[in-house]
Amino acid sequence: MHIVVPSSSNTFQQSWIASGRILFLIAVSGLGAIGLVVLSALWAGTESDAAALDRQRQLVNGRLREQVDQVAHVIGQFGNGYLTRVYPAAQTTGSSSSLDAVLTAAAGSAISQTAMSAFGYDQAFVVDEKAQLLMLADAPTEKRYRWMKPLFLPLLQDARLKASPAMVSNERTPSSIGNRLASAARPHRALANLMRLEGRPTIVGVVAVNETSQGQPQPMRQFLIVVRFIDGAALDELSRQQGLNGARFARTADADENEVAFQIDATANGEPIGFIVWRPDLPGSRVIGRLMPALSIAALVIAILFSVLLVRLRSSLGELKKSELHARQLALHDVLTGLPNRALFAMRFEDCLVETRNSAERSAVALLDLDRFKAVNDTFGHAAGDELIRMAAERIRAVLRPDDTLARLGGDEFALLLRNIKDDQILPSICEAIVAELGRPFPLLRGEAVARVGGSIGATVVPDAGRNADDIMRYADVALYEAKMGGRGQWRLYSPSMDGGRNARDILKNELREVLAKSTAAFPEVSRSAPTAGRSDFGSLEVYYQTVHRAGQGYPASGAEALVRWRHSQRGLLTPASFIPAAEEGGLIDALGFWVLREACRAACKWPEGTFVAVNVSPAQLRRPNFAEEVFAVLQESGLAPFRLELELTESSLIEDNSEIYSVLKSLRSRGVQISLDDFGTGFSCLSHLVRFDIDRIKIDRSFVSQLGAKANGAAIIGAIVTLSRNLGISTTAEGVETEYQRDFLTALGCTDLQGYFFSKPAPLRELECFGNPESAVALRTIAPGAIA
């Protein structure tokens, strides 16, 4: 028994033949598809041209009808206005005295001149019912009118002009004066027709100009006839409005090959008047003209490609394998940075867990998040955001060891896998180095912009934290949350107490919600979301005030900043740092801010005139579409003058959404509310914010004030800010003044106002006694460097 084994050449030949047949079928299919594409393109182009041409004709027809209706409407209003205001002075009673004739002719001339000069008509005539001129006219005008008169007679005999509106009205008024007013208020009957006049397409309008009210003697009826030719300036205007290329008027349809003619019919009898000829915009033909060369070239290229494909069939198989490997590479790596993506990180993490399960090797997993990345994207654009991501990845990668894994999970989120961390100092040193690198400025857009973002890291140790991948990643996420809540720009190592801290924050949110539900009636959603059964007393909210003092002789108090405190029944007096993050996370910041605003405005009403109260506003409040109306309602309720309220906002608020916040701030400033920019110079400082948002005050951050006497840079920065503010006419308040040297130095630099523990610490309203008595500020002076307001 013999077994025939096909040789490699036979196999290749069979494969070649099979491939040739397949290529032939593909070629036929491709050519057929190209033919269908060409036919479809031709059909679509033809249909598009027909639709475009029909649309242009409809627009021209509609525009002509609109102009006819406009003439009728305008002369109707003109006739009515002239009757009620001008014409009665020259109106006759039908007598044939020479004086009345002269007055009638003069009035007719005035009407004619007014119609032509005020409304731009080409001709205007005042005639009687028999089309006789009732106006002063020169010889050329009379001669021209004689040619037009036979065409005007049918218009004057139109049924719509036969009866006076005063005769057909059923209205009754108790007096003759009422009759006159009612008649004057009714619009005159007017009509307008499209006709050929002097061989030109013309809109002719007719309106009676001497109608009388019911019960009054009817004089000889007089009419105003206006003429507007539409083949001159009117046609040019129509051409510009409707996009008619090279529009012209022709008496016959003598359109060229690339032109179309639109017939104009008379309104009265439908007879053709002439034609508007123009070169139509045919998008279908234009597209086909551009597409056909490309399709021809494509067909030729496809034919060449099929012949080449037959030769390169074998090599294509190898290239296909390479592309498969490349696709696998792309599937496991981030396109922007070239780092491993989430899938590859998960694979390496699983391998790490398997290897460390039965060994003493310790590894670490860390999640990293860039701080204020969204602000960079919104301020400088997505191109700058992508550049920032790439630069951050390069800096992080430079800090890591060769065997460590850095992956990009998406957006500005990164993950670290640190293998073999036997030394307890390896993880802290790497995390601290990464935080330091991300804290350095990032030059973006070829040096045109500089961003300071920073980064936060949450880390956990494997297998100390557990052996389940999901649990370990959750632990790292909890640690990252703690790092961000702690002020950002730092790293945290997971500990089991952090889970308890998260539970404690949830409890704090619920307690704050109940306190707000008890204190704030303007936000009913807070009351509805708070528990109603078994409600406990968790204390109350209070507003403390830190005074602001005018720099200069005596340093009198010019205002105060409102600062919220929570007097908790079990935890004591809580500062904003203890519960503001919980309020933001729980969606309570709007209710809390509204309550502080209302309490501060009520308190400031009792302060001396000329003082102000400053209230901090969160970005979430500014994004509320009705925030300005809420502020105005609080001012009206409390009776506080708008110029005595100062809203403090941070530059990050302006960066997040310029368009929405701009309209809110514009509405507030239009009513006199003052706007101040807090912590100026510490965020994404943009000088355009000072002008665009019309800022009234700049608050110099305490970090610059604390450098006075210690670093020369502090004085230089403050001096530059004060000079800029003075040139823009903006007030400046220096925060964190804690020594007499700082007070005197800031005054010498030109700061308008000062605030800090040197003058007073935040105190309840009952202890705020310095207003109206500048010397009492000395009694309230408390120096507490480093204390938290």
User: According to the model, what pLDDT value does residue 775 have?
Assistant: 40
Q: What is the tens place of the pLDDT at every residue in 50-71? A: 777 778 777 777 778 888 888 8
Residue 3 vs residue 161, higher pLDDT: 161
pLDDT at 315: 67
Mean pLDDT value of segment 533-547: 78
Helices 576-585 and 497-519 sit at what angle, rounded to 10 degrees?
Answer: 90
Residue 432 above 70 pLDDT? yes
Does the structure show a pLDDT above 50 at 184? no
- What is the band of 11 on the pLDDT scale with cuts at 50, 70, 90? very low
Phi-psi region of 668 (alpha: psi -120 to 50; beta: other; left: phi over 0): alpha
Per-residue pLDDT band at 143 (split at 50, 70, 90):
confident
Name the segment(s) of the chain with CATH classification 3.30.70.270. 328-495
Would you place residue 104 in the very low, low, confident or very high pLDDT band (cuts 50, 70, 90)?
confident
**Measured distance CA(500)–CA(309) in Å, rounded:** 66
Residue 419 has pLDDT above 70, yes or no: yes
| Alpha-carbon span 519 to 540, nearest angstrom | 8
Contact in structure between 556 and 550 (CB atoms under 8 Å) = yes
Residues 90, 107 contacting (CB under 8 angstroms): yes
Strand runs labelled E in 230-296:
245-250, 260-265, 272-279
Q: What is the mean pLDDT of residues 467-476?
A: 84
Q: Give dist(CA 544, CA 580) in Å, integer.
A: 15
- Give the pLDDT confidence score for residue 14 in this predicted structure: 53
- Residue scoring higher pLDDT (76 or 3): 76
pLDDT in tens, 610-668: 899 999 998 778 878 789 999 999 999 999 999 999 999 876 666 554 567 788 888 99
- Residue 569: helix, strand or coil by DSSP? coil
Q: Are 208 and 161 in contact (CB under 8 A)?
A: yes
pLDDT at res. 661: 78
Which residue is associated with the tokens 């998406």? 410
Residue at 115: amino acid letter = A
Return the top range by mean pLDDT from 33-42, 284-293, 730-739: 730-739
| Distance between CA atoms of residues 242 and 265, nearest Å | 19
Least confident among 126-135, 186-195, 225-234, 616-625: 186-195
Q: For 199-208, 318-327, 334-343, 491-500, which range has the lowest pLDDT when averaged over its residues? A: 318-327
- Rounded to an integer, what distance in angstroms lies between the CA atom of residue 238 and that of residue 340? 62
Sequence-ordered strand ranges (E) for 40-189? 123-128
Peptide bond into 280 cis (omega under 30): no
**Are 604 and 645 a contacting pair, CB within 8 Å?**
yes
Kindly list the strands in the beta sheet with 190-197, ordered across the sheet, starting from the edge strand earlier in the chain.
Answer: 123-128, 222-229, 200-208, 190-197
Distances (CA, A) of 260 to 234, 275, 765: 19, 9, 83
Output 643 or 786, whichever has higher pLDDT.
643
pLDDT tops 70 at residue 760: yes
Q: Which residue has the higher pLDDT, 548 or 194?
A: 548
Burial 126-152 (b: 16+ CB within 10 A, else e): bbeeebebbbbbeeeeeebbeebbebb
Written as six digits, the tokens of 86 are 């001008």
Statement: residue 768 has pLDDT above 80: no
Both tokens assigned to 47: 């249909």
Q: Quick one: CATH architecture of 328-495? A: 2-Layer Sandwich (3.30)
Distance from C-alpha of 376 to C-alpha of 378, rounded to nearest angstrom: 5
303 to 27, 33, 40, 765: CA distances (angstroms): 8, 13, 21, 89
666: amino acid identity, one letter: K
Q: What pLDDT, in 10s, does the model give residues 380-404? A: 778 888 999 999 999 999 999 998 9
Compute, in degrees rounded to 10, the torsion defined by CA atoms 486, 492, 497, 498: 60
Residues 6+ apart with CB under 8 A from 120: 228
Alpha-carbon radius of gyration of the chain:
43
How many Cα atoms sit within 13 Å of 719 on the Cβ side?
10
Residues of the chain with pLDDT > 90, as a percent, come to 20
Q: Token pair of 161, please?
A: 């002009």
Give CA–CA dist 564/561, Å, rounded: 10
- On the question of pLDDT at 474 being above 70, the answer is yes
Query: Pairing relation of β-strands 363-370 and 455-462?
Result: antiparallel
Residue 424 has pLDDT above 90, yes or no: no
Q: How far is CA 246 from CA 57, 255, 285, 314, 510, in A?
A: 15, 11, 18, 60, 74
**With the CA atoms of 36, 41, 46 and 51 taken in that order, what torsion angle do they form, in degrees rounded to the nearest 10?**
120
How many Å apart are CA 369 and CA 414, to the nearest integer? 6
Report pLDDT for 404.
92
State the span(s) of the chain assigned CATH 3.20.20.450: 556-779
Is the pLDDT higher at 39 or at 96? 39
**205-260, pLDDT tens digit by residue?**
898 877 665 555 666 778 888 888 887 777 777 777 766 776 777 777 776 767 77
pLDDT at position 47: 77
Helix, strand, or coil (residue 689): helix
For the beta carbon of residue 43, count every other beta carbon within 10 angstroms: 11
Percent of the chain with pLDDT over 70: 76
pLDDT score of 686 = 60
Mean pLDDT, the chain, as a whole number?
77
**Per CATH, the architecture of 556-779 is what?**
Alpha-Beta Barrel (3.20)
Higher pLDDT, 665 or 538: 665
Closest CA to 467 of 348, 342, 347, 355: 355
* Residue pointed to by tokens 């896998």: 417
* 290 vs 636, more confident: 636
Within 10 Å of residue 314's Cβ, how many Cβ atoms? 11
Residues in a beta bridge with 125:
225
Residues 668-698 pLDDT 10s:
989 999 999 887 766 555 666 677 778 889 8
Pairing of strands 645-650, 674-680: parallel
Could you tell me if 225 and 127 are in contact, meaning their C-beta atoms sit under 8 angstroms apart?
yes
Of the ranges 141-150, 542-551, 599-608, 689-698, which one carries the lowest mean pLDDT score? 689-698
Alpha-carbon torsion angle 705, 708, 712, 716, nearest 10: 40
Q: What is the pTM of this model?
A: 0.45
Strands 697-700 and 674-680: parallel
Q: Report residue 525 CA to chain centroid gap.
A: 28
pLDDT of residue 751: 93
The confidence score (pLDDT) of residue 186 equals 44
